[in-house]
Structure 1
């Protein structure tokens, strides 16, 4: 896996059940799922990163959940330069999550679907990331998203975390 350029970011996602998909296929699948199956859905976007000697490894995840009936997820992983600052990495994760959530929201709005989208940040009240909580929650609010942190941010702290290893 080489370095990812801005032009190819978010272009391909993996699905545990469907394999490798283009971003448009992921969005179309989300649209079809929401519009064809009754009941409310939740969409959650999260990100995580792992600092390694060769660079910073990121994973972005979109989860689609039908409460009480399960769900599915799609992930995109990539490598960038080495972010040695924890603050840089955490804020980069958040910016990627906000950008992807904004794309999903616009895609669904263009198709007259109004499904809430939440953000999950891999930060919490324990540990060194606690000092970023207010800034990231404000970032989410400014972009009209509700956000959650640990221990409720499973999309980032569990699913995305798995794919940064």
Structure 2
């Protein structure tokens, strides 16, 4: 399912007006031409606010040793859900983006990880979704990262929904 390109933006607020796949291809070609070695981390975080839940999905490009940049997609859901349901919806949003872009990353030899904002400590409520999230992400053939290594979701996307 192709993402609605009108919802994607850069960190500076610039809206992505072309299809996401084209934007990401252009970014990869530009960065590779400049000699950067890239890794991509995709993650989603959410925050319950009143009766709704705000979601932010990010595509973080890491220029190994030289910083990075990211793309952001925000969405709001009015559906009430449990913590586990919310965690799995976050993972689903990240996997959908990873699946859409995976061919590009393979074609251009860019490593990709899917980050889940799920705590590996069983004392946290989000941990109840850990096994399902890990199974979903790895079952799709993607590399899985959870907290504390999941910076795309727990740091980058988190800053958007706060």
Give the TM-score of the pair, scaled to structure 2: 0.86
Asked if 1 retains the 8 angstrom alpha-carbon contact of 2:105 and 2:112, the reply is no
Size of the aligned set, in residue pairs, is 158
1:83 maps to what in 2?
Answer: 80
1:149 maps to what in 2?
Answer: 146
Q: How much has 1:88 moved relative to structure 2?
A: 1.1
State whether structure 2 residue 40 is matched by structure 1 residue 43: yes
State whether structure 2 residue 108 is matched by structure 1 residue 113: yes
Indicate how the Cα distance of structure 1 residues 30 and 155 shifts in structure 2: closer, same or farther if over 3 A, else same.
same
Gaps in structure 1 of 5+ consecutive residues: 1-5
The CA distance in 1 between the partners of 2:98 and 2:79, in whole Å, is 24
Asked if 1 retains the 8 angstrom alpha-carbon contact of 2:6 and 2:15, the reply is no
Gaps in structure 2 of 5+ consecutive residues: none
Indicate how the Cα distance of structure 1 residues 12 and 80 shifts in structure 2: closer, same or farther if over 3 A, else same.
same
State whether structure 2 residue 152 is matched by structure 1 residue 159: no
Asked if 2 retains the 8 angstrom alpha-carbon contact of 1:53 and 1:82, the reply is no
Asked if 1 retains the 8 angstrom alpha-carbon contact of 2:55 and 2:76, the reply is yes
1:129 maps to what in 2?
Answer: 126
